[in-house]
Chain A
């Protein structure tokens, strides 16, 4: 069967499944739309959280980042998993006990301040919208490469699918679809990894294969890879190149950013009990770890395969001939990916061969990070159905995260802005309709931005994490762990953390991401060696300090707010709270 037909069949089958779930899981009340009626089993919620969290960035980009970044990229692995420890212990159980529907709602009630709620809504919307752009462009890329349609057509199809289950089913529809999407994406990620691990090391479990011997050399796989990259003049795979300070702060920023991302937090509002919120965070990490323990193995093995492809005769031997790329069937993938512009080669010295080396002037091959996972099965010559599965997996990862983000955005609009500020007397039916309309508008905006991505799309992911880390996470944590922090402290703290972080990002990436307006660059940052992507941790620290100092200089929070803090610290009584 043709590869194209296979791709169409497998992707089509997964889409039919998502639509079936959409029709089955319609939401009839706001409690169902916002929080799936708090009836989701903790293991199932963990699985849905896994799909919600693992985006196109985790599925498509992360292994590539590690493949080319080596040890330095460990920050992604530790940061994007360590955040769940913080969620389980510092946020999720107490916010579940609070028993309302959105993150800004907690901030507004705890700090008895509509201003605080509004600041939280703005942070949430900016962070989630920037995040969703990446998912939508990911959908477009996957469609155009695997289904041979225009990226825009792919985007419309993806948006239509999300529209069906998100608008009809809200959190309920999204949850069950995310469970299905998790199964698709983890299968798609692990099957090629198992094949490749077997080919290279003989060990079928990729995380074990990573630390085993390579069949080709009889030496450990990582030592073999390290020997090759250093011989070819690339940066070391095993040694640290980044400064310790920046790596430390980057990891902190990713961890607290993860814990502070609203679309992840609201998933823990769907479980029946406080105890379930704790265990569900554990299950979420189990399902996330299945991919995150596989990713570093995929990274090292894909890099090894890539080097071996272009150096078929070993280091120092003859490199891959240009003619062979044009004719060899096994190298179809090089030509296919060249069409997308994500892989480029140019015979600079005209010797008829492509050399892939560390020296920038002599190197004739550039490979985008994002190819490593998507092209991996082709590089390793795996069967066609595995390639089709990877296409379906990439789409599942992007669509599931997009849906979670869109729900966070639409509930902030319908619940925090419309019901909370504009029209508090809106009926239950009216609010449900408002939620559906907000969702539809959010999908339309996300599709538009996916079609016309602002030039800074890739850079804004740093913004999403920076915002969540410097504003939302500290506000939530202080709201739970301190009775003394008051409205003034919280608002000043959030604005200070947010402001400083934004200014630092703009100074390095350009004001409002307009090119050439930056005064510094991440290669030579303003403060020590702290890159703008790592600054969220500093912003969070400033938020904590300002909130503490301002609160202690002003009055104590009212008694009823202190009682609210007392009550969220105790699990008993969570079942009774429904959100009104």
Chain B
């Protein structure tokens, strides 16, 4: 196992990344899809508004991108901190 300070730094970097990803996760689904939908009502798309699109399609696409970005960034962090397998 890597030494203590290096693994602490690795964990802190992981937590930072998770916070950023979950903030985006929250904004696109709970935000644009539900809470902020009235504010986006003016932006029209395909017979409805942007909030409806995020609720039924957009959020799922963003979730997908988020997981792959997280996985790729973590692989890089694993190597940088010498904790990869």
Partner of B11, one of A220, A289, A569, A573: A569
Q: Contacts A78-B29, A571-B83: A278 and B70 contacting too (C-beta < 8 A)?
A: yes
Say yes or no: A85-B63 contact (C-beta < 8 A), given A224-B47, A251-B29: yes
**Docked-complex contact B84 and A281, CB < 8 angstroms:** no
Which one of A85, A210, A575 lies within 8 Å of B85 (CB-CB)? A575
B21: chain A residues within 8 A (beta carbon): 85, 89
Q: Could you tell me if A273 and B85 are in contact, using CB atoms closer than 8 angstroms?
A: yes
Taking a contact as CB atoms closer than 8 A, the residue among A74, A220, A273 that contacts B55 in the complex is: A74
Q: Contacts A82-B59, A210-B46, A244-B34 hold; do A89 and B18 have CB atoms under 8 A apart? A: yes
A566 touches B7 (CB 8 A): yes
Q: Is the interface of B mostly helix, strand, loop or mixed?
A: helix
Q: Which secondary structure dominates chain A's binding surface? A: helix
A398 to B11 CA separation, bound complex (whole angstroms): 40
Within 8 A of A (CB), among B35-85: 35, 37, 45-49, 52-53, 55-57, 59-61, 63-64, 66-68, 70-71, 74-75, 78, 82-85
Bound form: Cα–Cα A247–B30 in Å: 9
Nearest-CB residue, chain A, relative to B11? A569
A240: chain B residues at CB < 8 Å are 37
A96 to chain B, nearest CB (A): 11
- In the complex, A274 Cα to B68 Cα: how many Å? 14
Asked if A220 and B63 sit within 8 Å, CB to CB, the answer is no
Please measure, in the bound complex, the distance between the C-alpha atom of A159 and the C-alpha atom of B64, giving whole angstroms: 34
B8-39 vs A: 1/0 string, CB under 8 Å? 00110010001001100100011001110100
Q: Are A82 and B29 in contact (CB under 8 A)?
A: yes
**B47–A278 touching, CB < 8 Å:** no
Q: For B63, what are the chain A residues with a Cβ–Cβ distance below 8 Å? A: 81-82, 84-85, 285, 289
CB under 8 Å from chain B, chain A span 72-109: 74, 77-78, 81-82, 84-85, 88-90, 93
A247: B residues at CB distance < 8 A: 34
Residues from chain B with a CB closer than 8 A to the CB of A144 are none
CB distance from A292 to the nearest CB of B (A): 6
Q: In the complex, how many angstroms separate the beta carbon of B60 from the nearest chain A beta carbon?
A: 5
A97: nearest chain-B partner, CB-CB: B85
Instruction: Name A481's closest neighbour in chain B (CB-CB).
Output: B15
| B77 smallest CB distance to A (angstroms) | 10
Give CA–CA (A375, B11) in the complex, Å.
51
**CB-defined contacts of B46 to chain A, threshold 8 Å:** 210-212, 220-222
Q: Which residues of the other chain, A, contact B49 by a CB distance below 8 angstroms?
A: 238
A279 / chain B contacts, CB cutoff of 8 Å? 68, 71
Question: Cβ of A23 < 8 Å from any Cβ of B?
Answer: no
Counting CB contacts under 8 A, is A393 at the interface?
A: no
Query: Which residues of chain B have C-beta atoms less than 8 A from A82's C-beta?
Result: 25, 29, 59, 63
Q: A274-B85, A282-B71 are in contact. Are A77 and B1 (CB under 8 A)?
A: no
**B33 with A74: CB separation less than 8 A:** yes
Q: What's the minimum C-beta distance from B30 to chain A, rounded to whole angstroms?
A: 6
For chain B, give the interface size range. 35 or more
Contact check, B48 vs A89: say whether CB atoms are below 8 A apart. Answer: no
CA A289 – CA B65 in complex, angstroms?
A: 12
Question: At the interface, yes or no: A451 with Cβ under 8 Å from chain B?
Answer: no
Residue of B nearest to A74 (CB): B55
Task: Find out whether the CB atom of B35 lies under 8 angstroms from the CB atom of A244.
Answer: yes
Does A122 lie at the interface of the complex (its beta carbon under 8 Å from any beta carbon of B)? Answer: no
Q: Which of A40-76 contact B (CB under 8 A)?
A: 66, 71, 74
User: In the complex, A66 Cα to B49 Cα: how many Å?
Assistant: 17
Distance of A441 from chain B, by nearest CB (Å): 37
With A222-B46, A285-B64: A90-B18 Cβ-Cβ less than 8 Å: yes
Cβ of A308 under 8 Å from chain B: no
Q: Given that A88-B70, A89-B70 are known contacts, is A282 also in contact with B56, CB under 8 Å in the complex? A: no
Instruction: Tell me whether A529 is interfacial, beta carbon within 8 Å.
Output: no
Chain A 236-280 interface mask (CB, 8 Å, partner B; 1/0): 001010001001100110000000000000000000011100110
- Residue with the highest number of chain B CB atoms closer than 10 Å, among A81, A88, A224, A247: A88
Q: Whole-angstrom distance between the alpha carbons of A560 and B52 in the complex?
A: 50
The answer to whether B67 and A88 touch across the interface, beta carbons within 8 angstroms, is yes
Residues of A within 8 A of B59 (CB): 77-78, 81-82
A248 and B34 form a contact (CB under 8 A): yes
Residue of A nearest to B10 (CB): A570
What is the bound-complex CA distance between A212 and B53, given in angstroms? 12
Q: B residues touching A (Cβ–Cβ < 8 Å)? A: 1-2, 7, 10-11, 14, 18, 21-22, 25, 29-30, 33-35, 37, 45-49, 52-53, 55-57, 59-61, 63-64, 66-68, 70-71, 74-75, 78, 82-85
Q: List the 7 closest pairs (A to B, CB-CB), nearest first.
A: A220-B47, A211-B46, A223-B47, A74-B55, A222-B47, A282-B67, A278-B71
- A contact set with B: CB distance below 8 Å: 66, 71, 74, 77-78, 81-82, 84-85, 88-90, 93, 207, 210-212, 219-224, 226, 238, 240, 244, 247-248, 251-252, 273-275, 278-279, 281-282, 285-286, 289, 292-293, 296, 566-567, 569-575
CB-defined A-B contacts under 8 Å, sample of 11: A78-B60, A84-B67, A85-B22, A93-B74, A210-B46, A275-B84, A289-B64, A293-B61, A296-B57, A572-B78, A575-B85
